[in-house]
Amino acid sequence: MGSGGRMDCCGQCVKYSMFVANFIIFIGGAIVFGLGVFTLVDKNFVNELLGTNLFSGAVYVLIATSALVCLLSFFGCMGAAKEYKCMLLTYFILVFLIFVTMLIGGILGYVFREKVSQTMGDEMRSSMSLYGGRRSITQAWDTTQERLKCCGVESFNDWRGDIPRSCCQQTLDGYKPCNESPSKENIHTNGCLHIASNYIRDNAAIIGGSGIAVAVLLVFGMIFSCSLFRMIE
């Protein structure tokens, strides 16, 4: 049993099924890779307020493994086309390892959803005292309040009267802080904890779900590669 033997109709069906499966796996891997990169770039402004590296860690895992999935799907197509048993066996082993890694990354994304509210709330409260003194914290708070249209943890009262300009719904003449206005109607009334935690949880669900979905697709790649390995004579 080596490489390149003739196969019956069933074998040819498995062979072309593996082509199709790997093409779908490539598309899925590319989608997860794009979502991961977009998440790191677009959601980077809240990293300082999360209080945990679990979310970014899970995203990094999925980005790395999804990139490998895209390369490996091409490797699987070549193994099916050339009917090399050694290549198919290597493909199966690598896909299995990536399957486990991607499944863990997807599960971490869902686990993070359950921890985000508590860890983020504690981190946000402790970081408020560093606002204006530490640049990264100041930028994180300002960007979060401006983009999510919120103020403070539960409300603008958390700032104890020293309300940042990023809490303003619109810039006042002379760039005065919101609390110097005769009326506080221009201050974002919603606290950032609820909005930001839901914002992150929704994205964690998308990233985690897509990672698990691709992991499920990899099962089909393993099944077809194993079947084709046994059929090659």
With pLDDT > 90 as the criterion, what percentage of the chain qualifies? 0
Contacts of 12 (CB under 8 A, 6+ apart): none
- Banded pLDDT at 115 (limits 50, 70, 90): low
In angstroms, the first-to-last Cα distance of the chain is: 5
Smallest Cα–Cα separation from 229: which of 97, 69, 87, 16? 87
- Banded pLDDT at 154 (limits 50, 70, 90): confident
- For 46-96, how does the pLDDT look when each residue is reduced to its tens digit (9 = 90+)? 666 766 666 677 778 778 888 888 888 887 777 777 767 777 788 888 888
Q: Are 108 and 57 in contact (CB under 8 A)?
A: yes
Mean pLDDT across the chain, nearest whole number? 76
Range with lowest mean pLDDT among 115-119, 122-126, 185-189, 227-231: 115-119
Determine the pLDDT at residue 46.
Answer: 67
Q: Where are the domains of the chain?
A: 9-110+210-231
Range with lowest mean pLDDT among 1-10, 127-136, 168-177, 196-205: 1-10
Reply yes or no on whether the pLDDT at 103 is more than 80: no
Rounded distance, CA 114 to CA 104, Å?
16
Rounded distance, CA 212 to CA 216, Å?
6
Smallest Cα–Cα separation from 92: which of 71, 63, 72, 106? 72
Residue 215 in tokens? 């992991």
Q: Are 61 and 97 in contact (CB under 8 A)?
A: no
Determine the pLDDT at residue 3.
Answer: 45
Does the predicted TM-score (pTM) go above 0.75? no
Q: Are 225 and 79 in contact (CB under 8 A)?
A: yes
- For 187-214, how does the pLDDT look when each residue is reduced to its tens digit (9 = 90+)? 888 888 888 878 777 777 777 777 778 8
Question: Between residues 107 and 156, which one has the greater pLDDT?
Answer: 156
